[in-house]
């Protein structure tokens, strides 16, 4: 069974639009990581959330972790073609930043 | 600073052959991880080294997979003999020996077994 559910699986938006990607777990998460991957490249770290209710922002990307630490959202404001790629949520389910479990990813396309 | 590097970037082999993947972590990173993504599925953990010791190898599929990290620097992952279901992208990641440190990922090795 999949441990992290990501939605949507794919997303096509027009440049300038806002969008949200969700990551849900049935169990409490000790650390929630967001990564971005472009084809042929490694995963690029975006943000890590630890505390319930925590919110972090970097440029136009904001990530939140709910109070129960079972759901996270990634919000992109005024999307640009450079935001295109596959967004992956990964979670440390044991505590300690060791093995991560990942969602299947959300493929984002931003049309100019 | 150089990131995590992996070699080769692509490998195409026939079933039954042997393949060795290499990962060079970021200098000074004691933690080294191997992950694999099979087509259509999520990225899955294979194993974790702390320096030269295997901390957790619970994700290794079977005994056809052998990972080493001699001297606590680079790591190799050998698949012998390779099977069709071993095809996928193998990622390596490294992090410093501190809790909650981010894992830096390499570009991956795309393995195709025919």
Radius of gyration of chain A (CA): 13
Peptide bond into A8 cis (omega under 30): yes
Q: What is the DSSP string of A30-74?
A: SEEEEEEE-TTS-EEEEEEE-STT-EEEETTEEEEE-TTSSEEEE
Backbone angles phi, psi at B34, to 5 degrees: -115, 135
Strands (DSSP E) along chain B, which ranges? Answer: 5-7, 10-13, 19-24, 31-37, 43-50, 53-56, 65-68, 75-79, 88-95, 104-105, 109-113
In a structure prediction context, what are the per-residue pLDDT tens digits for chain B, which is 114 residues long? 679 999 999 999 999 999 999 999 999 999 999 999 998 899 999 999 999 999 899 999 999 999 999 888 999 999 999 999 999 999 999 998 666 678 899 999 999 999
CA distance A17 to chain B (A): 27
Beta strand A106-111 pairing with B53-56: unpaired
* Domains identified in chain A, total number: 1
Distance CA A101, CA B26 (A): 22
Q: Is the pLDDT of residue A111 over 60?
A: yes
Q: What is the DSSP string of B30-56?
A: -EEEEEEE-TTS-EEEEEEEETTEEEE
- Residues of chain B with C-beta less than 8 angstroms from the C-beta of A45: 102-105
Number of Cβ within a 10 Å radius of residue B79: 22
% residues pLDDT > 90 (chain A):
68
**Residue range A49-58: mean pLDDT, rounded:** 92
The residue segments making up the domain with residue A59 are 4-90+101-111
Task: Write down the CATH number for the domain with range B19-97.
Answer: 2.60.40.10
Chain A interface includes B54 (CB < 8 A) = no
Q: Is the pLDDT of residue A11 over 90?
A: yes
Edge-to-edge strands, sheet with A55-58:
A4-7, A19-25, A71-76, A61-65, A55-58
Q: Delimit the domains of chain B by residue range.
A: 19-97
CATH code, A37: 2.60.40.10
Q: The tokens of A88 are what?
A: 């992956």
Distance CA B59, CA B78 (A): 15
Chain A interface includes B63 (CB < 8 A) = no
Q: Considering chain B, what is the average pLDDT of its residues?
A: 92
Chain B interface includes A90 (CB < 8 A) = yes
Q: Is residue A28 a part of any domain in this protein?
A: yes
Q: Considering chain A, what is the average pLDDT of its residues?
A: 90
**Residue range A58-70: mean pLDDT, rounded:** 92
Chain B interface includes A7 (CB < 8 A) = no
Q: Is residue A62 a part of any domain in this protein?
A: yes
Residues facing residue A88 across a β-bridge:
A35
**Residue range A19-36: mean pLDDT, rounded:** 91
What local confidence, expressed as pLDDT, does residue B98 receive?
65
Which of B43, B58, B102 shows the shortest C-beta gap to A102? B43
Per-residue pLDDT of B71-95, as tens digits, reads 889 999 999 999 999 999 999 999 9
pLDDT tier at A1, thresholds 50, 70, 90: very low
Which of B95, B99, B105 shows the shortest C-beta gap to A43? B105
Chain A interface includes B94 (CB < 8 A) = no
Q: Is residue A95 a part of any domain in this protein?
A: no
Q: Is the pLDDT of residue A27 over 60?
A: yes
Q: Is residue A96 a part of any domain in this protein?
A: no
């Amino acid at each position: 069974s999949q441990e992290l559910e990501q939605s949507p699986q794919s997303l096509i938006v027009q440049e300038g639009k806002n969008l949200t990607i969700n990551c849900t777990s049935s169990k409490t998460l000790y650390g929630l990581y967001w990564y971005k991957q472009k084809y042929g490249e490694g995963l690029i770290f975006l943000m890590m959330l630890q505390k319930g209710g925590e919110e972090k922002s970097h440029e136009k990307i904001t990530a939140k972790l709910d109070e129960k630490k079972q759901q996270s959202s990634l919000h992109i404001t005024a999307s640009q073609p450079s935001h295109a790629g596959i967004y992956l949520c990964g979670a440390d389910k044991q505590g300690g930043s060791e093995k991560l479990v990942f969602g299947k990813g959300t493929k984002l396309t931003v049309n100019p | 600073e150089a990131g995590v590097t992996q070699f080769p970037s692509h490998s195409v082999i026939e079933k039954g052959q042997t393949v060795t993947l290499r990962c060079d972590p970021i200098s000074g990173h004691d933690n080294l991880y191997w992950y694999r993504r099979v087509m259509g599925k999520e990225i899955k953990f294979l194993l974790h080294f702390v320096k030269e010791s295997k901390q957790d190898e619970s994700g290794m599929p079977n005994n056809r997979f052998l990972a080493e990290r001699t001297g606590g620097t680079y790591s190799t992952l050998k698949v012998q003999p390779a099977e069709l279901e071993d095809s996928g992208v193998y990622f390596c990641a490294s992090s410093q020996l501190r809790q909650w440190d981010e894992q830096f990922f390499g570009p991956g090795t795309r393995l195709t077994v025919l």
